[in-house]
Structure 1
């Protein structure tokens, strides 16, 4: 059976606190889970997706979802119930040397920034503002069917008379690696049928619109009169008829149908499109430090907690309380957005500690500041004192 497989790495992230659900909405969405207060744990078996009794053969409708893969195909694993111990993460800070080198590197990559302030600034304070990022990855599978046509040159037709067509979720395929975006196209067996081409209604040809099927058009040399303007003689181009052979259809009055190549028939079948997608939701603890939180999308942090299973429970009793709230909102958001039209195969939640330090310094009698963030020591310096007006932030 022919299969077309497309793999990609793109993910869609709802970043920042403004995308989180309200507490009441999140609790309503997660009400069926009956969350315990003891930390992450496995969902009860009765809450797992199960096939309905009336799902069977393909009825020809598009987008047949709802029948989950067999249980033996679902990945198995155990929840990580260990929450990191309380510690003073906010005290972790970079050194003055690291901060200066980060700013020097930052300005060196800016064509209109002068490097002097970065090299000769007087550092006054280093304030650690380290924060946490919660990330939820939900790996889903969606199945839809579409009607596809192709040329028909005769021969065997694998129709429903041969055998009943399988339901979309009844077709077994090899899934890609977990949390990898992928798309697969598979022709559905026993769905083939021969039908008239809709472009030509089965005739194999279409009327030429230029001549309306007559094969002739008005002579442009004599404007259809059949006579020359300068003499009382018949037009040499149309021999006095006022019409010439249509150049578009070469006088035939019709075109061969480009869809069926003149056959008048097409072979139709259903094609199953399977889409695996790694959906990502994130929450970052806002410190109200003046640092634009969206810049943390570019930064890597240190993973301090990881939990993976078919479904995950919200975090509880984390040392930073808003992480509990963020995880509950992200899980509820994915449940609302994805569970209705996709099958959730696997979820993974992680917590990262993202280094963030505010550096205040003096340059020529004035105080400025910049931020160093991420494991890569990236820099955000909105008020850098030595940049030309042509610079682009």
Structure 2
């Protein structure tokens, strides 16, 4: 008599054994083919028309094991209340889901997105910047600056003539992209007869066709959903369709060694009072039945497998400062800036026809970079361009061209080449 025939005959709640496709036990000691009533893959009409009944441990305590496991030890083992249930590995192949053949019970790599071409808007409107300083204004700002610096020679400024003023504004460009990354995993739950997707439709939506909208824009979060038409009904791999497994505390014997007499049945010259001389005690986990309800399917013998979509929403940000002056960018970051353009859309067009080519190139580079992320689908984008006014004043001193910079709406001055300066001997600085 096979293992499965014996269990079906001995325990309540099991169907009669019929000849069907073989499924295999998952225990390392057994590779015995077993038969299971019903098809391994059930369509939706069958699955939803009945309510599965779970196998349950018989009521009361058993005086002997209700089922004889062929791999149970020949003698009782020492009772271990801390014994852990073994893991039940899946050995049977699952039914493939079209379009999700690489999805397994382990979380997979992010799926590649479809490439979307970058749109280009040639009608962009930019805010006008303040007119740059004239040579006379630049000289006046430098003169005022020198008057407040004790280490600068005051006579030089009167003889110094600004020959040229160059408009060199500093720009800050920011690009933010709200993205979605999608991964899939195949999960399962006990099949209790609950209503599931229509399995008669063999073609679920593709990975990027599944609707799983973000809860809110520009906030990092994860959202999960079930892929429609991805359900299958499979025989439980934990118990191979029985609904129960061997008790892991008594190892399938129904009894364990008596702790008092250590299995001898004797206490000095008399019988052990704990076990009445038998040398064993009824297993406290299975109550002597040698079986426990399968923890994988909870006794329902079947599992509902489905594909779960995991969407990770994140914000990808890049920023670039375009500074062609000798003024440190760190000195500029805290100053007030003028907003030149700000746009938000599903996909933004890179800045194209701005009057400073380095801004156009930087914007195009970052927008292209974000669009080329292979697994990040763009949900929303926004970019903003700021400008900070800066002019470079040039003058000739002792036959050498020297420069100073007036920057910011505050008209601050940076003049590291100013003649007759002796900074370092006092608390003043050249800025």
TM-score norm. by structure 1 comes to 0.52
Aligned partner of 1:273 in structure 2 is 310
Name segments (4+ residues, structure 1) moved above 6 Å: 88-91, 286-293, 298-301, 354-358
Question: Which structure 2 residues correspond to residues 159-174 of structure 1 after superposition, within 5 A?
Answer: 159-172=198-211
Asked if 1:202 corresponds to 2:245, the answer is no
Count of residues in Structure 1 that have an aligned counterpart in Structure 2: 268
Aligned partner of 2:343 in structure 1 is 307
**Cα distance, 1:79 vs structure 2:** 6.3
1:291-344: CA deviation from partner (whole Å, max 9, x where unpaired): 879x97x9996633223452432567565x7655643543343244x2x12333
Contact 1:158 1:193 in 2 (8 A): no
* Alpha-carbon spacing, 1:276–1:242, altered in 2? closer, same or farther (3 Å): same
Aligned partner of 2:125 in structure 1 is 82
**Cα distance, 1:149 vs structure 2:** 1.6
1:179-213: CA deviation from partner (whole Å, max 9, x where unpaired): 45454433233222111223333222232222111
**Among 237, 253, 264, which residue is 2:274 paired with?**
237
Question: Which structure 2 residues correspond to residues 183-198 of structure 1 after superposition, within 5 A?
Answer: 183-198=222-237
1:239-297: CA deviation from partner (whole Å, max 9, x where unpaired): 2222212223332323212332111111112233344433222224578878879x97x
Asked if 1:349 corresponds to 2:373, the answer is no
Aligned partner of 2:370 in structure 1 is 334
* Alpha-carbon spacing, 1:216–1:288, altered in 2? closer, same or farther (3 Å): farther
1:49-98: CA deviation from partner (whole Å, max 9, x where unpaired): xxxxxxx96344336554579x9xx9x9956633454548999xxxxxxx
Q: Which moved more, 1:135-144 or 1:181-190?
A: 181-190
Contact 1:314 1:331 in 2 (8 A): no
Aligned partner of 1:61 in structure 2 is 102
- Aligned equivalents of 1:351, 1:147: Cα separation in 2: 45
Contact 2:212 2:223 in 1 (8 A): no
- Aligned equivalents of 1:204, 1:305: Cα separation in 2: 66
* Alpha-carbon spacing, 1:326–1:225, altered in 2? closer, same or farther (3 Å): farther
Aligned partner of 2:55 in structure 1 is none
- The secondary structure found in structure 1 opposite 2:303 is strand
- Aligned equivalents of 2:426, 2:366: Cα separation in 1: 43
Q: Runs of 5+ in structure 1 lacking a partner?
A: 1-55, 92-122, 359-364, 370-393
* Alpha-carbon spacing, 1:356–1:288, altered in 2? closer, same or farther (3 Å): farther
1:336-364: CA deviation from partner (whole Å, max 9, x where unpaired): 4x2x1233344322123588999xxxxxx
Question: Which structure 2 residues correspond to residues 1-393 of structure 1 after superposition, within 5 A?
Answer: 58-62=99-103, 65-67=112-114, 81-85=124-128, 87=130, 132-154=171-193, 158-172=197-211, 179-181=218-220, 183-228=222-267, 231-284=268-321, 303-309=339-345, 310-313=347-350, 323=359, 326-336=362-372, 338=373, 340-352=374-386, 367=427
- Aligned equivalents of 1:356, 1:188: Cα separation in 2: 56
- Aligned equivalents of 1:154, 1:334: Cα separation in 2: 46
- The secondary structure found in structure 1 opposite 2:252 is coil
- Aligned equivalents of 2:247, 2:236: Cα separation in 1: 17
Contact 2:128 2:340 in 1 (8 A): no
TM-score norm. by structure 2 comes to 0.48
* Alpha-carbon spacing, 1:303–1:243, altered in 2? closer, same or farther (3 Å): farther
Contact 1:57 1:166 in 2 (8 A): no
- Aligned equivalents of 2:237, 2:320: Cα separation in 1: 51
Aligned partner of 2:402 in structure 1 is none
The structure that is helix-richer by fraction is: 1
